[in-house]
């Protein structure tokens, strides 16, 4: 058996491309914004995590340019060696103060942040209790930790308590949950998680990748949204969304940060974020602090779009949600791919969510919104989305006939 046999047998992509339904790797030819140019054509961007619209903000860009001029393009080493800049330290201090924790450390990517935290803080003698819809980086971090991982049903607090009841007091327990779940846009039931953590002597790691800059006073995230900042032990976030850069961070008590800094292999053996990454994230944080109305603008435009889709007859799972992630359930994989293809051709960029990211037969189109989106753009996008989905049959055999392949 040849190692590469599996590569030769992997034909999913070839089939999708042959059908003209392959939805990935469309190339941007302009800045990430509410309208972009992709492959020579204008697209309304509702498939981005640029929640506060700061990725193309000239102040953020200028901060990155100045950092490039001062420090160069990279650091050429880990934070332990030659990779720590005063701008890294300043960013960490600012984040810790803004979120209200003692200390902060940064990682090179958001995915690496969860790998680095979980692989360091949890060991073979511990148990990680994980919401079933948590991000893939949490699952991979749990595997890397060698701790036992137990899952509970999504946002199901009765099931969480059942899991906690089955773990003895001789084990260290860590409940890990997304603050805002990246596919559904649900907010975790943090008040109940905090109550159960206290009852069963567990710690909490909150993944605020999609919540920082989005909910809570000043965009401080899920713990601030529920007024539970002092009850959450560790909060992680990313720079690639609201903070308009690349990287990730953890805030916690100083002794926890010091431990992870000196035990986390993904942190110890990775180069630090670039000078431009650090400077852009720091400037974005300063803008969020100075312009809290951006967070409200984001929630307002998300509510407007949700109401618009409903008014046009499109079923939305949670019409009362306040987050900027609006999933549109499309059913089969084929129907989802066809919908995304037609939407793209009509100038709307969205994200298809297919197995294994969704259960078979429960595929969806993930749409997400930005504080700088306008009502006019939302009206245009909503109309096209509803027209396209209404034109595609529910049944795959009928879709194949529509495509001329039945």
The DSSP annotation for 25-41 comes to: -PPB-S-SSSEEEETTE
Determine contact, residues 72/276, Cβ cutoff 8 Å.
Answer: no
Among 48, 182, 242, 358, the one annotated catalytic: 182
Q: Is 210 a catalytic residue?
A: yes
Q: Is 182 a catalytic residue?
A: yes
Torsion of CA 326, 329, 333, 337, to 10 degrees: -50
Among 210, 308, 341, 373, the one annotated catalytic: 210
**Where would I find the beta strands (DSSP E) of 132-219?**
148-152, 172-178, 203-207
The SS3 of residue 246 is coil
Residue 227: phi and psi, rounded to 5, are 60, 45
Residue 106: phi and psi, rounded to 5, are -110, 150
- The terminus-to-terminus CA distance of the chain in angstroms comes to 37
Burial class (CB in 10 A: 0-12, 13-18, 19+), 262: exposed
The SS3 of residue 15 is helix
Among 88, 101, 135, 241, the one annotated catalytic: 241
297-334 burial, b at 16+ Cβ within 10 Å, e below that, comes to bbbbbbbbbbebbeeeebebeeeebbbbbbbbebbbbb
Helix residue ranges per DSSP H, 346-374: none
Give the active site residues. 182, 210, 241
């Amino acid at each position: 058996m040849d190692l590469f046999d599996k590569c030769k047998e992997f034909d999913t992509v070839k089939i999708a491309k042959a059908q003209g339904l392959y939805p990935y790797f469309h190339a941007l030819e302009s800045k990430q914004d509410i309208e972009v140019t992709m492959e020579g054509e204008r697209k309304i961007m509702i498939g981005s995590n640029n929640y506060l619209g700061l990725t193309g903000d000239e102040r953020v860009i200028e901060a990155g340019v100045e950092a490039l001029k001062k420090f160069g393009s990279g650091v050429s080493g880990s934070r332990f060696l030659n990779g720590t800049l005063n701008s890294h330290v300043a960013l960490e201090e600012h984040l810790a103060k803004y979120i209200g924790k003692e200390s902060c450390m940064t990682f090179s990517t958001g995915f690496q942040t969860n790998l680095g935290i979980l692989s360091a803080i949890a060991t073979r003698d511990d148990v990680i209790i994980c919401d079933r819809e948590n991000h893939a980086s949490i699952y991979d971090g749990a595997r890397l930790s060698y701790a036992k991982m137990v899952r509970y049903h999504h946002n199901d607090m009765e099931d969480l308590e059942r899991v906690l009841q089955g773990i003895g007091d001789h084990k260290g327990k860590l409940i890990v949950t997304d603050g805002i779940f990246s596919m559904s846009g649900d907010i975790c039931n943090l008040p109940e998680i905090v109550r159960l953590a206290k009852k069963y002597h567990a710690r909490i790691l909150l993944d605020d990748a999609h919540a920082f800059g989005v909910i809570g006073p000043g965009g401080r995230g899920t713990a601030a949204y529920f007024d539970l900042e002092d009850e959450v032990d560790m909060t992680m976030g990313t720079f690639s969304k609201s903070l308009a850069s690349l990287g990730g961070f953890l805030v916690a008590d100083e002794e926890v940060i010091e431990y992870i800094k000196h035990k986390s292999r993904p942190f110890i053996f990775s180069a630090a974020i670039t000078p431009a990454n650090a400077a852009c994230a720091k400037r974005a944080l300063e803008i969020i602090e100075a312009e809290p109305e951006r967070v409200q603008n984001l929630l307002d435009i998300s509510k407007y779009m949700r109401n618009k889709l409903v008014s046009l007859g499109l079923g939305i799972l949670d019409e009362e949600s306040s987050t900027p992630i609006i999933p549109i359930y499309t059913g089969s994989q084929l129907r989802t791919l066809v919908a995304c293809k037609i939407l793209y051709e009509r100038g709307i960029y969205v994200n298809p969510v297919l197995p294994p990211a969704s259960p078979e037969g429960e595929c969806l189109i993930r749409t997400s919104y930005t504080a700088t989106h306008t009502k006019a753009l939302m009206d245009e996008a909503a109309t096209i989305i509803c027209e396209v989905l209404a034109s595609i049959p529910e049944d795959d055999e009928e879709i194949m006939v529509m495509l001329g392949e039945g």
